[in-house]
Every structure is written in structure tokens, then in C-alpha cells.
Amino acid sequence: MDAATAHDHPIRILLVEDDSHIGRIIEMSLIELGIPYEFTSAISAEDGLELWGRHAFDVLLTDYNLRGMNGLQLVEELRGQGFHVPTLLVTAYDSADLRSDVRRLHIDAYLPKPFFMDELVDTVRRLLQAPAAREVNGGKH
């Protein structure tokens, strides 16, 4: 069973990225997933939380460096609310400390910038095939 058939709705993907140009490139690249999905983007973690409050998502893609709260804080906040979904963190600020924080939070995937869009699509595809993605029930497990 793939992630698309495990849901009664298309996969809901939230991208939190404060650079709208990068966000648009990611949005266009995800077409390569080849499955039904709904894509929503937010330019800040706070906006992402507001969107999540209206309707939970199945996958979270977030940049680390955001205005206001950073991507790690966003993940911590969502997990504090009981949401545990496949998550990809991207960053231009790769460091041993950040990688340690990613492991501590059990973030599913991490991509340092710059990366190729096919790497991102392949990573999202792997996230969607993970057992956690198939067990999503309204975004909470």
C-alpha cells in the first residue's frame, strides 16, 4: 500500500519557507511525486501553525531559518500539540549542533542547502512510504 491509498483524501503537504521563490520552486518540483496531493505554503512558522490549526497536514516540509520562530521550534510546538507527521527540515545553516537537534527531535529527514530538487522529491517520496505516513489519522498518532 502506498501513502496515497492509505488516505481517503489526497496527501496534504505543508511547506513553511520564508523565501517565496524557493517555495514556488519546491511546489513545482513536487509534481514529480506522481500522486494526488494538496500543497499549502506558509512564510512563517506562526502562519504554518495557524494553517495547521484549521486542518492538520500529512507531511511537514520546513526551513530551519524562518522569521520569528525557527523550524525546530515549529516541530516542537506541533509535537507538543500531539502532531507527529513525517517531517523534512532544510537549512542553509548546516552545523553539528543543528544535526544534533534534528536527531534529538527525531526529525525524519534533513537536507542542507543547496540541494537538487530531485533530492527533495525523493526524500518526500521516502517520507510518504514510511510507516508513520501510512498511519496518519487526521495528522495525529
Q: In one letter, which amino acid is 128? A: L
pLDDT digits (tens, 9 = 90+) for 80-133: 999 999 999 999 999 999 999 999 999 999 999 999 999 999 999 999 987 655
Burial class of 79 by CB neighbour count within 10 A (0 to 12, 13 to 18, 19+): middle
pLDDT of residue 130: 74
Name the residue with cell 527540515: 89
pLDDT band, very low/low/confident/very high, at 141 (cuts 50, 70, 90): very low
Mean pLDDT of 132-137: 44
pLDDT of residue 67: 87
* 13 three-state secondary structure: strand
pLDDT of residue 108: 96
Nearest to 3 by CA among 128, 110, 92: 128
Q: Are 12 and 58 in contact (CB under 8 A)?
A: yes
Half-sphere exposure of 12 (CA within 13 A, CB side): 16
8, three cell numbers = 481517503
What is the model's pTM? 0.87
Q: What is the CATH number of domain 3-134?
A: 3.40.50.2300
Name the residue with cell 507531511: 59
pLDDT digits (tens, 9 = 90+) for 20-70: 999 999 999 999 999 999 999 999 999 999 999 999 999 999 999 998 999
